[in-house]
Amino acid sequence: MPEIAVALPAVPESIPRSREVLESLRSELDESVLDDLRLIVSELVTNSIRHAGLRSSDPIDLEISVTDSTIRLELRDRGRGFAPPPSPNNPFQESGWGLFLVSQLTDRWGVSTEDGMTTVWIEIYRKPSE
């Protein structure tokens, strides 16, 4: 089962780059699932770059694993943590849209902070037909 692990610099150009990384999953996943992942990874990397207060030399670690049952994507950075979990009920606020979209496109997601590292992860359950 495919696994991807890349380190991206904390610069805006890593946003389109993170979407390109997903191309290696093209043979494994349906185009509609790839569309979901492109949007999710774009939102999470954007969030990291806009809100984590990183220097451009700080890495953002992106890991994706695909099993028969689950697609899991993790983004880890040395940022100052995560804004309080979003407000999907009030997406009209300035930064709410990105995480609102993430919450709509995933089955589970979460955030954790440990030893100065913040990890945000998402899971998508795969349908048997895929």
Q: How far apart are CA 25 and CA 66, in angstroms?
A: 9
For 28, 70, 86, 107, the CA distances from 77, given in Å and listed in that order, are 27, 23, 18, 23
Of 68 and 94, CB closest to another protein: 94
Tell me the closest approach of the beta carbon of residue 130 to another protein, in angstroms: 18
Tell me the closest approach of the beta carbon of residue 18 to another protein, in angstroms: 10
Give the one residue of 4, 6, 25, 39 binding another protein; rule: CB under 8 A: 39
Tell me the closest approach of the beta carbon of residue 56 to another protein, in angstroms: 14
DSSP, collapsed to helix, strand or coil, labels residue 126 as coil
Closest CA to 103 of 87, 83, 117: 87
Stretch that binds another protein, among 21-29, 46-54, 68-76, 78-86 (CB under 8 A): 46-54
